[in-house]
Structure 1
């Protein structure tokens, strides 16, 4: 249970806050243990929001906390200062709850563990390692840097995909308007011709008729298939087979693999440099991946390391890593500079992902333009051919 309290501190000042206790008597005892004189104690609802924080707010909060802790400010005081300057209710509520739990004797890792919807396993493991090693401020800085790099990568991916997606939607809308609104008005003039129409014109008329009659139904069927696929992919076995198939695609397969390997190596380097045990680091790094097939292979690699195999050999057996990545990890493992080498590998994989993504989108955009031009050219030719025949007959 949570209790809201008002008490007098050892300096004679009134203080108020919330704490977690089994009963009101237990809450009073906790206050007395801190040399506080309780005035009022009342049960209250759990002061925590189960909604997540926006990514920017979380990164800024972590970086500000790292700055305050590096200035040798006590952790509880740092959390209190951040809560006082918070502009959003959710962030203020979260910081006040963390501050109260730290005051009650919990570590920061234990406090953030109560908020899995906000703090991922990576955050919790790194904070615990930072507190155990006495380097919490450095770990928090690394977390903020990692989160910013992840967000930058997502932003680049979104920006790169925005134009092709918009182009695709516009192309489909234009074709549908042509088939359902423009073409019927034009080709209706050909119905009175006494000669056979060209094959392209007949095909266009058929497509236009189908679009008018079955366009809405087809759209509904497509949307139903999309929803059905999403429900089907909720089953782990089917989702893993689909993710495995995605890796075999000609252009997008390498992009997806590079994205997951970049995330894995970056997470592994951050955790290893924060004194998190290697096996725990591998488990957490695999858990943050988006491709189930890659995640399972790398989890199997962690099991091989648990059995006594070297990291390089275990990752080689996964058959996922490119040769350069394997050689760099092997070099870092042999020289004792695995953390630095993992960071370099992560940078290389990020660059490889961006270059492959740029190449894939660079191929897709002109291909879409060519297809769109071919469709429009077909429509124009299908309309012009009967007109040319009519002109030749008239002449």
Structure 2
């Protein structure tokens, strides 16, 4: 039976929300009335439905941590010998929120109707990426579903940890820069005019630094709003321009050529691709299918195109490591590990080793980036504040010399 999300009024006039299973929406409404509830909205739980009254499964799917936890729990239950429908039923009972409850109940309903778990997941593509569906399908065919689910949970946790690590590395310098800009803007807009206005009344020649500070302060007070609008317009136009794949491709190519950013982007995308390929290969997914899926997790467009071209060459009979190396987009160490895996027949293990190596490389560069950006922002702000202080103090020093 499919799952339906509902909104209903109880006897006190309060809105109740939840998920129920039933053959039809009418049956669910009857069930609600038997419970003393007045149904307002009853909709079948489907991912990607139009945003409206249904709050459960809109276009936003499960987050990385939620997906990892759900997969880990399902792996444990299936590994303990529970049928898939019973495992999904148990997960729906202990779901943390209505979104997860509706999702697991819908999966259970599809499985009980005769669909495989992979087919049920295919109806919720925003929650279960193609790598999950392909791996689960291979695990069901090979009888190794519990092991595949466990590897998928590891994969989801590693991917979520990678995103959190990158976010954490960039959050502190970005926050520091925002606070610094706000402080400097406040000084130039409100504090400086009240101080340097005294010097203008002296009708004396002011130092160059003081004149520059007064001009900058006057410009910000008069045209600061326009500067903010221009910056916002630039950001909006850049966002609109990046919707074009050609523009986005050129921008991604520029990122790869930047000294430090290029290493970070290359390492992060290589780690994602090789870890995905390792998971799919160990799940008995054919290499060509695995390459097509792995290309989707690569966010950098030149590297994604390189992976797609490598897949075409592999289809023509070329070795994977050689085809990947011809693009020049992937690190040589990862290519050597992949070539070693092809020669030894242990490609999944060496792909995992390549992913771990790139993860270590990414950690190292993120640490270096964090160590450089924080002090750099502080030094820049310190230099600006020093300039402001000197521009204010220089007329005072000149005035003391005139008095003497």
Question: TM-score, normalized by length of structure 2?
Answer: 0.86
Q: How does 1:81-230 map to 2 (within 5 A)?
A: 81-230=90-239
Does residue 241 of the first structure (1) align with residue 283 of the second (2)?
no
| Aligned-residue offset at 1:378 | 0.7
Closer/same/farther in 2, CA of residues 382 and 80 from structure 1, 3 Å limit: same
Q: 1:46 aligns with which of 44, 47, 60?
A: 44
| Aligned-residue offset at 1:45 | 3.9
Distance (whole Å) between structure 1 residues aligned to residue 62 and residue 191 of structure 2 = 48
Does residue 254 of the first structure (1) align with residue 252 of the second (2)?
no
Distance (whole Å) between structure 2 residues aligned to residue 75 and residue 151 of structure 1 = 26
Determine the structure 1 residue equivalent to 2:7.
none
| Aligned-residue offset at 1:19 | 5.5
Corresponding residue SS for 2:124 = coil
Q: 2:288 aligns with which of 254, 260, 279?
A: 279
Q: 2:365 aligns with which of 320, 345, 356?
A: 356
- Please list every run of 5 or more consecutive structure 2 residues that lacks an aligned counterpart in the other structure: 5-19, 28-41, 47-56
Does residue 382 of the first structure (1) align with residue 391 of the second (2)?
yes
Q: Is the Cα–Cα contact under 8 Å of residues 266 and 331 in structure 2 kept in the other structure?
A: no
Question: TM-score, normalized by length of structure 1?
Answer: 0.88
Distance (whole Å) between structure 1 residues aligned to residue 154 and residue 306 of structure 2 = 27
Distance (whole Å) between structure 2 residues aligned to residue 257 and residue 312 of structure 1 = 17
Q: Is the Cα–Cα contact under 8 Å of residues 18 and 100 in structure 1 kept in the other structure?
A: no
- Please list every run of 5 or more consecutive structure 1 residues that lacks an aligned counterpart in the other structure: 5-15, 25-43
Q: Is the Cα–Cα contact under 8 Å of residues 258 and 349 in structure 1 kept in the other structure?
A: yes
Distance (whole Å) between structure 1 residues aligned to residue 180 and residue 45 of structure 2 = 50
Determine the structure 2 residue equivalent to 1:37.
none
Distance (whole Å) between structure 2 residues aligned to residue 333 and residue 3 of structure 1 = 46
| Aligned-residue offset at 1:320 | 1.5
Q: 1:67 aligns with which of 76, 83, 101?
A: 76
Q: Is the Cα–Cα contact under 8 Å of residues 329 and 338 in structure 1 kept in the other structure?
A: yes
* Alignment deviations for residues 160-209 of structure 1 (CA, whole Å, 9 cap, x no partner): 22211111011101110110011101110111223311111110000000
| Aligned-residue offset at 1:3 | 9.3
Distance (whole Å) between structure 2 residues aligned to residue 328 and residue 216 of structure 1 = 55
* Alignment deviations for residues 25-81 of structure 1 (CA, whole Å, 9 cap, x no partner): xxxxxxxxxxxxxxxxxxx74233334123332221111111111111111111112
| Aligned-residue offset at 1:215 | 1.0
Distance (whole Å) between structure 1 residues aligned to residue 387 and residue 21 of structure 2 = 73
Distance (whole Å) between structure 1 residues aligned to residue 324 and residue 112 of structure 2 = 43
| Range 316-325 or range 373-382, more displaced | 316-325
| Aligned-residue offset at 1:2 | 6.1
Corresponding residue SS for 1:117 = coil
Q: Is the Cα–Cα contact under 8 Å of residues 307 and 324 in structure 2 kept in the other structure?
A: yes
The aligned length equals 362
